[in-house]
Copies of this chain bind each other. A is one copy, B any other.
Amino acid sequence: MIVRPRPGFLRLLFVVRGTILPRVLPHVLVIAGLSCLVVWTLQRGLLRLPVTSPAPLSLLGIALSIFLGFRNNACYDRWWEARKQWGALLIELRAFTHTAIALLDDGRAELPVVGRETARRLVYRNIAFAHALAAHLRGHDARADISRFVSEPECSRVLTSGNRPNALLREQERELATLRREGRLSDITWGALSGRVHGLMSVFAACERIRTTPVPFAYTVLLHRTAYIFCLLLPFGLAEALGWFTPVLAAMIAYTFFGLDRLSDELEEPFGDAPNDLPLLALARTGEINLLEALGEPQPEPLRPRDFILE
């Protein structure tokens, strides 16, 4: 995710880093070049265009704007829903932690150490879950993070599972059920903690849904194709009416359409590594810090953006 203080009104016009410009520039230049060629040949009389009005092209352009707007909307919603799910992850992690510590370990010396140890084990497993989820969505390997927070032999069970976040939640449920069976959690307090694990599972499944189900492929193709052909037709439609203004306007329109198309692509898969994707590593780190603070243990530094990009 790009994190930078909003530049001033003017500087905003010339910012490059963190924008979509570098990725669409080649295509915009193609359109501008084609426009120059069309205008030049037209003014030399080498070409006679039958087009006498740019209005029909406008119709296609407006229809295209409406449909691009739709896809853009759908992709932005996916991105924002993904962010909401990670917000819910933090809620469930903190709520579980506060409740588990308060129920099992009240921090006073006269309580047996075993309660504190149990709470710590439950909370550590949740930290591992946050890292495992980030890695699962990004396609990384979270082996190191998991083994820091989960001890053997559970750790090997988790690492050999095809679905590590799911395996961690299963272990969590199992330990909660054991605590209930041993009478250290009542039915009600077991239900409260198990409800939090259910919440984590919802977050996990929602993230998987977003990751595995792209916007229908036919949209991507249909709109990308129409946008590209439209921009290729533009110079022919505008050259008669605009003369040497054609390259400027055609490039502007191409920049807007290609830029939105490209940005939609990035937002469609919010868990990737692209600059506008979600900072999963930073969010997982935030969770780790919150949970370690609740345990009263030393915490790592939060992740900082590098070159305005937070991972």
Residues of A at under 8 Å CB distance from B? 1-4, 6, 9, 12-13, 15, 18-21, 27, 49-67, 69-70, 72-74, 76, 79-80, 83-84, 86-88, 90-91, 94-95, 98-99, 101-103, 106-107, 161-163, 166-167, 169-170, 173-174, 176-178, 180-181, 186-192, 194, 197-198, 201-202, 205-206, 208-209, 213-214, 216-222, 224-226, 228-230, 233, 236-238, 241-245, 248-249, 252-253, 255-257, 259-260, 263, 265-267, 275-276, 289-290, 293-294
Contact = CB atoms under 8 A, between A and B. Distances in A.
Contacts of A257: 63
Given A216-B263, A217-B276, A106 B178 contact: yes
Given A13-B228, A189-B187, A260-B222, A265 B60 contact: no
30 contacts: A12-B220, A12-B224, A13-B229, A19-B218, A50-B243, A50-B245, A51-B242, A52-B242, A55-B241, A58-B59, A59-B253, A60-B249, A60-B253, A63-B253, A67-B72, A70-B72, A74-B76, A94-B166, A95-B198, A98-B173, A98-B197, A101-B170, A102-B173, A166-B290, A188-B188, A217-B276, A222-B255, A222-B260, A226-B255, A233-B248
Contact of A176 (B20, B54, B80, B102): B102
A-B CB proximity, top 3 nearest: A50-B243, A102-B177, A187-B188
A255 to B, nearest CB: 7
A251 to B, nearest CB: 10
A256 B221 CA distance: 11
Given A166-B290, A226-B252, A229-B252, 11 more contacts: A3-B214, A4-B217, A18-B221, A51-B242, A53-B241, A56-B57, A63-B257, A83-B213, A90-B208, A102-B178, A233-B252
A64 to B, nearest CB: 7
Contact of A267 (B186, B216, B253): B216
Given A230-B252, A293-B163, A67 B67 contact: no
Contact of A173 (B4, B99, B253): B99
B50 A101 contact: no
A102 to B, nearest CB: 3
Contact of A70 (B69, B162, B208): B69
B56 A249 contact: yes
B59 A163 contact: no
Contacts of A180: 103
Nearest to A20: B218
A174 B101 contact: yes
